[in-house]
């Protein structure tokens, strides 16, 4: 079985790799043009289950990031060396293991639901356990959490968009893949 498999867009799943654009934490494309979404097969199966669960509720998913090369992780660690939000590149990221995915829910028309903050908003307002968010935002975050947990992922407390396989640290860090190359600094 291959270490990584490509995750294609499907009915109910849109791929929008944010790090291939300038609209991210780095303010520039970090992934080279042609970057493809990829995960380990175990994580891909969980994502398939999440898509089915979202579709049963009349919703869809957008993937913002999945497998991430170590060189990209190093870029993010240099920009924001805060382990609440970014894994130390020297220790590796669960994205670099190919078992983490950053996602959001969409309505039936493909419009992202309001999650209270944007993706990559590295502030307390992005944490799951917030009492100061409007009820519709709370509901949307809880729906995403339910979909992803039911599919077999686990969450982290600081990012409403980040989900990973349980026992993620048991997976080896992966070398750079041709599916996602990093733009040199």
Catalytic sites, residue numbers: 159
In this structure, the number of other CB atoms found within 10 A of the CB of residue 124 comes to: 12
- Give me 128's structure tokens: 């799951």
Give per-residue burial for 2-32: e unless 16+ CB within 10 Å, then b.
ebbbebeeeebbbbbbbbbeeebbbeebbbe
Give the ranges where 20-134 is alpha helix by DSSP (H): 41-56, 70-79
Angle (CA) 57 60 66, round 5°:
130
- Is residue 25 within 8 Å of 122, Cβ to Cβ? yes
Among all chains, which residue has been given the structure tokens 């293991």?
97
């Amino acid at each position: 079985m291959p270490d990584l498999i490509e995750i294609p867009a499907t009915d109910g799943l849109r791929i929008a790799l944010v790090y291939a654009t300038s609209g991210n934490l780095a303010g520039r494309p970090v992934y080279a043009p042609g970057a493809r979404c990829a995960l380990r097969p175990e994580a891909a199966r969980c994502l398939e289950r999440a898509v089915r669960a979202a579709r049963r509720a009349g919703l869809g998913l957008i993937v913002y990031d999945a497998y991430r090369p170590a060189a990209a992780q190093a870029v993010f660690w240099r920009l924001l060396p805060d382990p609440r939000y970014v894994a130390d590149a020297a220790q590796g990221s669960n994205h670099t293991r190919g078992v983490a995915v950053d996602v959001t829910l969409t309505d039936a028309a493909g419009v992202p639901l309001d999650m209270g903050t944007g993706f990559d908003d590295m502030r307390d307002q992005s944490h799951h356990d917030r009492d100061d968010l409007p009820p519709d935002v709370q509901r949307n975050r809880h729906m995403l959490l339910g979909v992803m947990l039911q599919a077999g992922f686990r969450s982290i407390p600081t990012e409403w968009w980040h989900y990973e396989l349980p026992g993620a640290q048991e997976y080896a860090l992966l070398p750079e893949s041709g599916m996602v190359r990093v733009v040199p600094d």
